Amino acid sequence: MSRVVTTYHQRIAQEKRALILTAATALFLELGYDRTSLARIAERSGVSRATLFKQFPTKAALFDAMVTESWSTADEEDPPQAGNIVDGLSTIGRRYAELLGRARMTDLFRIVIAELPRFPELANAQFSQGKMPYFESVRDYLLAEHEAGTVRVEDVDLAATQFLGMISNYVFWPTLLVPGWEVGADRVAQVVDEAVRTTAARYAVAGPGPSTNH
């Protein structure tokens, strides 16, 4: 019985956490980071102030949680194993496109950009806790491929940046600037495929080779 009760309380806590994060995101967008209080977030989310303060004692802690949630993958997948650069980059590229396609990711960047002049720490949190850990996972994958002899990459930081940039520059950044910008699933798949082909053609030791996914 105690295990059932514990599981129930955990589920309720997770549901309240999701409500808090959703309310905080909406209020930060509406009112700005500075004008949004934790009390207002508690009211909007429908939880008590005590419940909110227990999980997030400060706005900074709440924003950090927003960053973590936005950059987390559904089941915290590890980078693919080295051995086939086309398959590996295809997996990473699809995950990245899915990540960038989330509404909460766009909202997070809008908050950071709007508040950057007054709260540069928000951008620092976004970079150090969100983008950088993800970038490092891609970098580590390319380094593993290099060490396995499937690619020859002298600058893995540059290679990872270029690969991710080919995807984000089409499927994500225009959403912040162009009203109504949408990219369909087929187009996203094409963008990822072209980024994979370009990167593999540049770095693969013996060419990209056929994918084992087909």
Integer Cα distance of 184 and 173 in angstroms: 15
Integer Cα distance of 195 and 60 in angstroms: 36
Please check whether residue 155 is in contact with residue 84, taking contact to mean a CB–CB distance below 8 angstroms: no
Integer Cα distance of 190 and 114 in angstroms: 32
Integer Cα distance of 32 and 180 in angstroms: 23
Residue ranges and CATH numbers for the domains of the chain are 2-57 (1.10.10.60), 71-203 (1.10.357.10)
94-138 pLDDT tens trace: 999 999 998 889 999 999 999 999 999 999 999 988 889 889 989
56-92 pLDDT tens trace: 999 999 999 999 888 887 555 677 999 999 999 999 9
Burial of 212 (0-12, 13-18, 19+ CB in 10 A): exposed
What is the pTM (predicted TM-score) of this model? 0.82
Residue 19 has pLDDT above 70, yes or no: yes
H-run or E-run covering 74: none
